[in-house]
A = this chain, B = another copy of it.
Amino acid sequence: MTPRRLTPVLRLQECGIIAVILVLGILLTWFGGTVRAPVFERGADGARHRVYETGADGARVPAFAVRNKFLNAQNLAQLAKDTSFIAIMAVGSALVIISGGIDLSVGSLYALASVLGALVLRHLGPEGSGAAHHGWQGILLAAAACLGAAAACGAINGALIVVLRVHPFVVTLGSMAILRGLAFVITSGQSVGGFPDGLRALVRFQAGDGLTVIPLAAMVLATVAGWIFLGRLAAGRRAYAVGGNEQAARFSGIRVARVKLLVYTLSGLSAGVAAFLAIGYYGAASSGDGQGYELSVIAAAVVGGASLSGGRGSALGVVLGALVIQMIGSGIVLLGIDQNYSQIVLGSVVIAAVVLDNLNTWLARRQFLK
């Protein structure tokens, strides 16, 4: 009897945000209208060529296909890709939020990790002095630098919070400035590029027409990892307990300090993963990266149903929250709304999405009561 009861409740939890996504999707498909897009084909050499057709007057004119602006494979693929960086960070941040903390340093941490990874990659790149070490080892080394530094910074955040007994808002506000400052000092404020081609080719690899699989796969992996952590591992349960009632957790013998250390480390790590993907995709890093991401990430978590007072939230919800925010951003572009109004629209829709989500849960609950 219990499992059957469990499923609808779980489904309920994220169905609000899914409804929001569906509503947004329908609106965008409807109002986005269509576009004439040029048609390409992949030649024998693997390069893309435009397709030409013979026009009414016999001339050879480039072929166009009419398709819905929102609802087409490429656009959706791009949406997914653009979402992935924030979504991955949001999963990590959600762990922190669920355990009752907050991590304002993710944006800066992302910048520092990017920059460190980029320095290694440049060293290995065509103009670097380590070009000989090219290949897999090089990329792994860069990944290790990037993720290792990120996890270490996260762990330091956690340690400071635990040892100094200072509110996480303060500690991560401080480390937000410190880490960005470090990124700046390391790079002297210059963009670091010139990577070996291997990584870029890998991260930008497209299956089919425009579907960048790697960031997408990473996002799915992060979601699954977050879901397993929160739902299947004892450690996740401890995080919920600490967020729900820290004192009760302590009375139950949970080592609160250890839990905190873990979630901040994971939050750092997730920012590192996002950073590594992003430098792979965009091919460069600078100390200005990720500015303001902390708020986007927290917004994603909150829109996705994580409670800032701790103890509530899910990995899937948070990723969907990131998707909602990205959809709003690209919806503004799609609908041709004047950029001047973009912030007004974004702000309004974020509030509306959360309200809709709440409304939905409330309705579902009433339904459940009947």
Residues of A within 8 A of B (CB): 104, 160, 164-167, 169-171, 173-182, 184-185, 188-189, 295, 298-299, 302-303, 307-308, 340-348, 350-351, 354-355, 358
Partner of A177, one of B303, B350, B355: B350
Shortest beta-carbon distance from A106 to chain B in Å: 14
**How many Å lie between the Cα of A343 and that of B288 in the bound state?**
13
On chain B, the residues within 8 Å of A176 by CB distance are: 347
- Least CB separation from A310: chain B residue: B309
On chain B, the residues within 8 Å of A160 by CB distance are: 351
**How many Å lie between the Cα of A148 and that of B198 in the bound state?**
59
Shortest beta-carbon distance from A14 to chain B in Å: 17
Contact B348 A170 (CB under 8 A): no
Contact B182 A344 (CB under 8 A): yes
**How many Å lie between the Cα of A358 and that of B185 in the bound state?**
31
Partner of A185, one of B171, B177, B179, B341: B341
**How many Å lie between the Cα of A170 and that of B300 in the bound state?**
10
Give chain A's interface secondary structure class: helix
Contact A350 B174 (CB under 8 A): yes
On chain B, the residues within 8 Å of A302 by CB distance are: 167, 169-170, 173
- Least CB separation from A173: chain B residue: B299
Partner of A181, one of B166, B307, B341: B341
Partner of A351, one of B166, B182, B188, B189: B166
On chain B, the residues within 8 Å of A341 by CB distance are: 181, 185
- Least CB separation from A291: chain B residue: B292
Shortest beta-carbon distance from A9 to chain B in Å: 20
Shortest beta-carbon distance from A145 to chain B in Å: 20
Known A-B contacts A165-B358, A167-B307; the reply to A350 vs B173 at CB < 8 A is yes
**How many Å lie between the Cα of A354 and that of B167 in the bound state?**
9
On chain B, the residues within 8 Å of A167 by CB distance are: 302, 307-308, 354
Contact B166 A355 (CB under 8 A): yes
On chain B, the residues within 8 Å of A177 by CB distance are: 343-344, 346-347, 350
On chain B, the residues within 8 Å of A169 by CB distance are: 298, 302, 308
Contact B303 A358 (CB under 8 A): no
